[in-house]
Chains A and B, each alone.
Chain A
Amino acid sequence: MRWGGQLWLGVLLAVWSVTGLCVPGGWAQAAANGAAQPKIRTAKAEDPAARWAGEPVRSISFENVTATRLNPLPQHLAQGVGDPLSEEKLATSLRQLYATGLFETVEVVGRREADGVGLIFRGKPSRFIGLVTVDGAKGATLNTQLEYASRLTAGTRFSTTRLDAGLAQMRATLADSGFHEPVITQTLVEHPEEQLVDIAFHVTSGPQARVGDVQVTGDPGMSVSEFRRLARLHPGARVNHETTDRALSGVLKRYQKENHLEAEIKLTAQDYAPATDLANFHFSATRGPVVTVRVEGASIDPDRVKRAVPVYEEGTVDEDLLNEGNRRLRDYFQRQGYFDVKVSHRRLTPRPDEVDIVYTVDLGLRRRVEKVAVAGNHYFDAATLKDLLSVRAADYLDHHGSYSQALVAADVSALQAVYQNNGFSRVTVSPDVSQATPPHGSASRKPAGLSIVYNIVEGAQQRVGAVEMSGNEHVETSKLLPLLNTAPGQLLSPQNLAGDRDTLLTDYLSRGFDQAQVSVAQTADPKDGGLVDVTFQIHEGQQIFVRNVLLTGLHFTRDSTVARAITLHAGDPLDQSALAETQSNLYNFALFNEVRTAIENPRGAETFKTVLVQTTEARRWALTYGFGFETQTGQPQNNCAGFKVTGTPCNPNGKTGISPRVLGSVTRNNLFGREQSASIQGTYGLLEQNIDLVYQNPHFHGNKSFGLTFTGGYANSQDVTTYVASKLDAGLRVTENFNAPSAGISRANTFIYEFDFRRVKVASESLQVYPAAIPQLAAAVRVGGPGLTWIRDTRDSPLDAHRGTYLSFQEFLSNHAFGAQAQFNRLDVSHSNYFGLDHGRIVLARNTRYAQERAYGPASDELIPLPERIYAGGPISLRGFAVNAAGPRDPETGFPIGGAGALMNSTELRLPPPNLPWLGNSLSFVLFHDMGNVFTDAGEAWVSAMRIHQPNRDACKVLNNSGNTTSLADPIPTGPSTSTGVQGQCNFNYFSHAPGLGLRYHTPVGPIRLDFSYNLNPPIFPVNINYSLARPASQPQVGEARHFNFIFSLGQTF
């Protein structure tokens, strides 16, 4: 007996205490202790619910929450009018009502009526959180932080408990930021009709604490003053939310540097003295042992070990990190061809203050994957299947190939998946690995061969038999079936079935069934073993609709502006994707800093729910500024006459230099409460100075497809070494996008319809052309007319494309009819292709540009103004030339004068980034070849394509030695006269070729670029006049464009 009691006394006491069910010994023990009878419940005769049970219910009413708000539940309550009163049904009804979330408390009361019972469901209505705002806290972002810290999420239940918890969280956040004596007041604004309550917090931050005393316990291994220094806890410094983290990380960094990788440091307490405003910090620090990591059994660079074993980068030691070290070391040695390598680690403690982590590497044989093949495949060809494999044979880039058990398993899965998705549900794939014996024993350094063959037994191919739906009570099958990819007779594909299941789910979600579930059942057709019948089993759940959409936060923005962005309306099914689209539409206006969406009473089982859209308007005035620079050989140098004073030589090829620039703009957004903006933008740099007024209406008249832009401004540019041009211009642009699903044209296309009017002028003192041409070329000219631009962009990433195409087609017509003085037509077409090679690791990129410009009209209009001509050369076109220095040159000065035609092609092989010390895989290399030129006439472009030498070079060497005087009346050049002026005897109609090497340092905003090019066939040209000389015609010479050029810039070339 003693034993029995002892045995069961301790058994399941805890379980008994909650379940009330105990084992026999428990009862026996309780009996022995003389347990009393428990209280018996109210006798049924005294319980009104029991007493009235069975009597008819004559009426049901609701108090505090209206029946309208509860609709349609009143018609579906378990206890109905006319039914006999039932305790169980009353209980179920109460549960139904509470589940709506609309009651904070709820009870049912009964009242005797003449011939039965009347029921009233009543209670305290729930309140839900509406708009939460915080103001008054010191610090740029502290108000927002406090808002999040309160955890008072819009739409969720409001209670004083949650409000108090929110206040406590806010105080804790303020204390973290050094404000220990804040005063927080809150104003509650009730909206009883929506059961919403807005909460406006006002914070008075109070004094900000300063660093006081610092105490350290444990074994920090340093003095308190050193600790303080490392923790950057300088006496009197202000405490903010970073102070503690910075202190901990500062000390931890020291410990990590000294290889105390198991160091532990924490803030144990922080007390605040209100009288002095000082915060005293109490830390506990234990530096722990010095940890060393070494590798046995293989030779490996210590730096590589540090990179492979993440205890160094994480600054701590745990088993997960050590196992990660195993994996990384194994991967490293497998990349070296040791496919069978085994890595393990152990932890040694030679002394109490030392820990050795020893990685033991068993390399095994070094191998080379000679062959990877598939066998037994009939349905797919071998090439298709081999593309799926991760095990790779050795090649010129990879001397050992790739192989591991994990890769083989992944390949088997990939092969099985592709077969199963094509109806071969019983496919088997078995890898057959054959490993050759090392050629001359294991001591040989030559790797042993390894071959792998994936043997495939395809089995019978199955097709879909019948496709059926079940459980779709609210949506007709005829509406669902067209959404599916799976159809009778199709190959049975698990991938398709999974996709169709997701499609159905998405469709149901869009119809407001947020609890919908879809599963797929497959049954073999009894008559035909090759067919499988598919049934999509749908559990719809409750359908939820929108009661109302409450939009808040509009102070300046007009309701009509945002109305079209709201895609959910009262009565619609509550579609989460439409809600996300509404949020996205509002963000797209660029009028709001924040747009939050929430559902009121999200967990309640209401059928109709209120949607909250809470916006925070952005500042209407925005100031932006930036700085940039580029450097290159061939920087334009266009004030040669001015250089006479300093004696600086002037060269038609420009000079090596840096061109910095600053940019700034002031923008007024939300103009007139609409999605419009006006801005003043300016750039100041060595190559360009401009100021523009810009008006933008990105969705003209609310149309998503059309945007309107008006620009007007003044620009001064020095980007062609031959002259300084000024431009006063105005332009009107209508941009057409095709984002709408019904557009009919791919969204990759953009059309820009524009009208430009400008007055261009070249400063005569800057012009580097022969003297007789200066008056005509320096005259101000009006240019104006319509233009059309078509852009088709299918690139995966505009900043650094890996696949896709980019086409731009630009047409501009300048004509007297539009008030222009110059008449010409310009066409400029550029097309780029991007191909991924070697599984996308290498990108082959190509860009071809063709441009032509033709003057028309009377002879007086034949000359195209210098700034309107076609130029090429420099960072984004032909890298074998200086900036805008390709093509025709002035026959006397040798300076580029632009052309009327251009044809060029650039090809780049963008290589994958190697893993480099310090740089990791941020740096990659590019091999490129640029060819082409700018021509006097577009007709010359195509015939010049096969010409790799400058035609008639001797003519370019004929100098004019008669000008050894101070007079510039002569010379007058001879030669053909074209729309770009008299060309002289030197001919530039040939293709220039420039191969090169580029470096790309990848950053989140695109690559930083350094290109080196070598022009194989640069042009030569006569230089009879040099305006930087005291006597410009005194030193005639033959000039030549540079062979070698470099360019430092941002972004890919194209």
Chain B
Amino acid sequence: MMVHLACAGTCAVAMLPLGAWAQAATAPVVLDSVVAVVNDEVILASDLENEIHLSSLEPRSAADPHETETDALGRLISRALIRQQMREEEGQEALPSAQEVASRLQLMRRELPACVRSKCETDAGWQRFLLSHDLDQDEVEDYVRNRLAILHFIELRFRQGIRISHEEIEAYYRDMLAPQYTAGEKAPTLDEVSPRIEEILLQQKVNVLFSDWLENLRKQGQIEVLDPHLEAALGPAAQGAGTQ
């Protein structure tokens, strides 16, 4: 009897997790799904999750401290559009060399704010950073490689043909730089800073051209966000784009 009771008690205790297990066995669980389509290129929930996960490698401003799914999806859409253009214009994506990737990785370990706090400059600090963010070295290298390829493409596509006139450099020096120095503080001469001002203006123009180009790609492309909660990722430029 005791045995039976004991047995009954033991069985009762054992039955609870077994019942839960049986319920879990029959209840279907969504493993992955399509959340958006960019010109026939699919973005999956797992892609989105991965993008959020990798956002720990990105600097964020105080005004916008948290990564949201909408932000991440917007970025994935933009990158998909750019990669499609890269394939069209270059035939195939030109990946950066291992040396470039390693160099950029070192820079990241030195400069990325989250990394600075984890003392990533040392290998031990870097490993701690990776572990704390559930990342591994290959993942990070892929991240850097893909983004470098995009940066190269943008630089190549938009820098060519931009000319900065001397008048523009002078205007920037006069209106933007010189007023930052207080009276008595010696400002650098125009000749000293001309090359750097030219670079700033060049990048500003690249930014403008790039933004217009990307907006145009979004307008002309066929972008479909299948999850209504993420539709904000389409952005104003993409509203009304074809969904065929």
Residues of A within 8 A of B (CB): 2-3, 6-7, 10-15, 17-22, 24, 26-31, 33-44, 47-49, 52, 87, 90-91, 94-95, 98-99, 103-114, 119-120, 123, 156-157, 159, 161-162, 165, 603
Contact = CB atoms under 8 A, between A and B. Distances in A.
A18 B244 contact: no
A15 B154 contact: yes
B34 A107 contact: yes
A161 B32 CA distance: 25
Interface string B216-243: 0000000000100000000000000011
| A-B interface, 5 closest residue pairs, ranked by CB to CB distance from nearest | A30-B59, A31-B113, A107-B33, A21-B147, A36-B65
Contact of A41 (B28, B42, B49, B111): B49
B90 interface: no
A11 B200 CA distance: 7
A113 B59 contact: no
A38 B26 contact: no
A163 to B, nearest CB: 11
B174 interface: no
B28 A110 contact: yes
A159 B243 contact: yes
Contact of A19 (B108, B134, B147, B211): B147
Nearest to B21: A112
B151 interface: yes
B62 A33 contact: yes
B25 A113 contact: yes
Contact of A30 (B56, B61, B211): B61
B148 interface: yes
Nearest to A129: B244
B190 interface: no
B67 interface: yes
Nearest to A15: B154
Interface in B18-66: 24-34, 37, 40, 42, 44, 46-47, 49-50, 52-63, 65-66
A105 B33 contact: yes
Contacts of A34: 62
B31 A31 contact: no
A38 B243 contact: no
Interface residues of B, number: 74
A27 B106 CA distance: 13
Given A21-B147, A27-B112, A49-B46, A99 B32 contact: no
Majority SS of interface residues in chain A? Answer: mixed
Contacts of A24: 107, 110-111
B35 to A, nearest CB: 9
A240 B60 CA distance: 57
B50 to A, nearest CB: 7
A120 B32 CA distance: 11
B66 A38 contact: yes
A14 B59 contact: no
23 contacts: A2-B180, A3-B188, A10-B203, A12-B151, A15-B151, A19-B78, A27-B59, A36-B62, A36-B65, A37-B56, A48-B31, A49-B31, A91-B32, A94-B33, A94-B42, A95-B44, A104-B226, A109-B28, A109-B30, A109-B31, A156-B244, A157-B243, A157-B244
A128 to B, nearest CB: 11
A108 B46 CA distance: 12
Given A26-B59, A161-B243, A18 B75 contact: yes
Nearest to B177: A6
Contacts of A15: 150-151, 154, 206-207, 210
Nearest to A48: B29
A91 B111 contact: no
Nearest to A122: B28
A607 to B, nearest CB: 17
A475 B46 CA distance: 39
Majority SS of interface residues in chain B? Answer: helix
B113 A107 contact: no
A12 B203 CA distance: 6
Given A27-B59, A38-B55, A91-B44, A14 B30 contact: no
Contacts of B133: 40
B30 A108 contact: yes
Nearest to B82: A18
Nearest to B114: A37
Contacts of A7: 196, 199-200
Contacts of A87: 32, 46
A105 B82 CA distance: 24
A106 B34 contact: yes
Residue from the set B34, B55, B65, B147 with the largest chain A CB neighbour count within 10 Å: B34
B29 A109 contact: yes
Given A33-B61, A108-B30, A112-B24, A41 B66 contact: no
A658 to B, nearest CB: 60
A107 B32 contact: yes
B95 interface: no
Interface string B144-164: 100110110010000000000
Nearest to A18: B78
Residue from the set B47, B66, B112 with the largest chain A CB neighbour count within 10 Å: B112
A21 B101 CA distance: 12
B60 A38 contact: yes
A28 B154 CA distance: 22
Contacts of B33: 94, 105-108
Contacts of A40: 53, 56, 133-134
Contact of B75 (A20, A31, A95, A159): A20
A12 B207 CA distance: 6
Contact of A43 (B47, B61, B107, B134): B134
A91 B33 CA distance: 8
Interface in B75-91: 75, 78-79, 82
A48 B34 CA distance: 17
A103 B244 CA distance: 13
Given A10-B204, A19-B147, A41 B31 contact: no
B113 to A, nearest CB: 3
Given A13-B207, A20-B58, A33-B62, A38 B52 contact: yes
Contacts of A21: 58, 144, 147-148, 150-151
Given A90-B31, A94-B44, A109-B31, A41 B113 contact: no
Contacts of B114: 35, 37
Contacts of B75: 17-20
A105 to B, nearest CB: 5
Contacts of A161: 243
Given A19-B78, A90-B46, 20 more contacts: A10-B200, A11-B203, A15-B150, A18-B214, A20-B57, A20-B58, A24-B107, A27-B108, A31-B59, A31-B111, A35-B113, A38-B56, A44-B134, A87-B32, A94-B32, A105-B33, A107-B30, A108-B30, A109-B28, A112-B25
